[in-house]
Amino acid sequence: MQTRKLGPFDVTAMGFGCMNLSHAYGPPQPRDVAEKVLRMALEIGITHFDTAALYGFGANEKLVGEVLKSRPSNVVIVSKCGLFGRDGKRVIDGRPEAIREICEQSLKNLQTDCIDLYYLHRWDQRVPIEESVGALAELKRAGKIRAIGLSEVGAATLRRAHAVHPIAAVQSEYSLWTRNPEIAVLEESGRLGVTFVAFSPLGRGFLAGGMSGPDALADGDIRRTMPRFQSPNFEANARLVAPLDAIAAEAGCSRPQLALAWVLARASHVVVIPGTTRAEHLVENCGADAIRLSSATLAKLAALLPPGKVAGERYPPATQVENDTENYVS
């Protein structure tokens, strides 16, 4: 597979997001299922695995640490702090002491003495970004992490953070139906030499097709709380993206491959981290790595899904305000 830069590392442009093996989209996967998918990702050749302290409140890090502890030396494992579970509750805490505490837990969970890339999962806006990044820089000087990343921040915050310590990567949701990184942070990350990591490049599964309706989502699935997945937005969005089937067929690929190839075509400093719980979907997703979309196909996609076209916000209001990303005005 093609490789791209992830800060100081050379990784496959197609990474693997580990979250939904343990978190967010319904019950955690059985251990044998989760392990099979992770090991297949290794066998296929993926060298970039993304987890976080939040996912399963440490369970996902433990899974990744146990399964990938004997990984090849070129495999990069990244995790995140600043958003995690405390006393059974989801907490945002970017204070230096909290960052140090969670890092120690992550090191233990991942069964390592150094994390390759460590993100601030959310900017705790009660704490200046300079203080949180300063704490991450201390962890790097101490040899506990190799590189620093940020998640869900806008261009101005990225610049402030980068002035304190070079930022290796910035991570945000980016896909055919989530275009807000194009307002500023995608371009700014390229200007600064920061890798842009696109999470949920398949629109949290929506762009892959096959979702019958919001009621089909499992109890506890966080998408049930997201306006885009609620009626009548769900139905409107399903009609909006229905032409993707025909566009994919014309391009000689599947819908998921079309969506992933589109993200990879946006800029050379972009990598993607789709997640899945099914081995066959993992293989299908990786097939997008070899697809090069024609200018005609790109033009059709631009006409179908221009920025701001999708119905509904990414997150419910209480979660939306936690993010520092730029947003299109409805």
Q: Indicate the helix (H) or strand (E) that contains 224.
A: none
Task: Characterise 269 by phi-psi region: left (phi > 0), alpha (psi -120 to 50), beta (else).
Answer: alpha
Of 227, 310, 291, which is closest to residue 253 (Cα–Cα)?
A: 291
Alpha carbon of 16 to those of 64, 77, 220, 225: distances in Å? 11, 10, 23, 24
User: In the annotation, is 315 catalytic?
Assistant: no
Helix (H, G, I), strand (E, B), or coil: what is residue 58? helix
In the set 55, 118, 119, 315, the catalytic residue is 55
Name the one residue in this structure whose structure tokens are 């150094």.
114
Question: Are the CB atoms for 144 and 107 separated by under 8 Å?
Answer: yes
Query: Rounded to an integer, what distance in angstroms lies between the CA atom of residue 152 and that of residue 322?
Result: 9
Query: Rounded to an integer, what distance in angstroms lies between the CA atom of residue 239 and that of residue 269?
Result: 32
Of 95, 67, 156, 3, which is closest to residue 59 (Cα–Cα)?
A: 67
Of 77, 71, 33, 73, which is closest to residue 282 (Cα–Cα)?
A: 33
Sequence letter at residue 110: L
**φ and ψ of 312, to 5 deg:** 100, 150
Helix (H, G, I), strand (E, B), or coil: what is residue 7? coil
Sequence letter at residue 162: H
Question: Are the CB atoms for 114 and 87 separated by under 8 Å?
Answer: no
Query: Rounded to an integer, what distance in angstroms lies between the CA atom of residue 120 and that of residue 99?
Result: 8
Of 107, 116, 95, which is closest to residue 53 (Cα–Cα)?
A: 107
Query: Rounded to an integer, what distance in angstroms lies between the CA atom of residue 16 and that of residue 38?
Result: 9
Residues labelled as active-site residues: 55
